[in-house]
Amino acid sequence: MKTLHDLHRPLGSTGLSVSPLGLGTVKLGRDQGVKYPNGFSIPDDFTAGQLLQLARELGINLLDTAPAYGRSEERLGPLLRGQRQDWVIVSKVGEEFDNGLSHFDFSAAHTRRSVERSLQRLETDYLDLLLVHSDGNDLAVLEHSEVYPTLAALKAEGKIRAFGFSGKTVDGGLLALQDGDCAMVTYNLNEQAERPVLDYAAAHRKGILIKKALASGHACLAPGQDPVRASFELIFAHPGVSSAIVGTINPLHLAHNVATAATVIEALGHS
């Protein structure tokens, strides 16, 4: 069975080493207001624990969570007890999700409160990477809120090891990488507008995480083509990409994604 154990790569110049696929955990905590082609049930603790164990066995060490993912953080804390050294944990700040609705707060006070809450929920003393969950007004968030300076201070305090931005625009991604360590960008078969952010990251040794790598399960191709393979060929051909986040809770899908990613990356390495 193909795994990613030997294919970990640097997350920019953060000193963190990440698997080329990361496990997104929105489906561990939230089933409202999510855009997936098929419905799903939030897995129980036993099933979620098995999924995390499988991810480790397949060589995945990157977990992506957020306060906006419902109960994801508070469930991960107990599930990861005794394993902290095995995982690179990414969480976020800025977006809150209550009663089916999102709202945003980028103030210094909320940023600090949110990070302390994430540390408590995840039962850890530090977060490896903290990303700003943008509301789409990327430049306004970066230029006119206190969130980035607050994250820089939290990094200096050792509460977070690296910080960055999960945005929606090229301008936002480029600005975020000037002072931050990492950007999370949408890049898939359907959407490639943020490619300049990947180019900048590759040139300046910044980290890139890909969200919606499989177009949230909507990747479509001509008959007979494997959409997962075609997606990973696009993503991993770019030298700026550190890792792509996949959000499946299906063990077979996860193993297939890992095997496909490993095959694609190995082929690219030999080409």
Active site residues: 69
User: How far apart (Å, rounded) are the C-alpha atoms in residues 19 and 10?
Assistant: 9
User: How far apart (Å, rounded) are the C-alpha atoms in residues 64 and 59?
Assistant: 15
- H or E element in which residue 102 lies: strand 101-104
Q: Tell how strand 17-18 and strand 9-10 pair up.
A: antiparallel
Q: How many helices (H) and strands (E) does the chain have?
A: 9, 12
User: How far apart (Å, rounded) are the C-alpha atoms in residues 78 and 194?
Assistant: 36
* Distance (Å) of CA 134 to CA 26, 79, 109, 152, 186: 16, 28, 17, 17, 13
3-class DSSP assignment, residue 250: coil
Identity of the amino acid at 226? D
Identity of the amino acid at 237? A
**Would you give the DSSP letter of residue 51?**
H
Q: Which of 116, 117, 115 is CA-nearest to residue 132?
A: 115
Contacts of 181 (CB under 8 A, 6+ apart): 11, 12, 13, 14, 129, 162, 163, 164, 206, 207
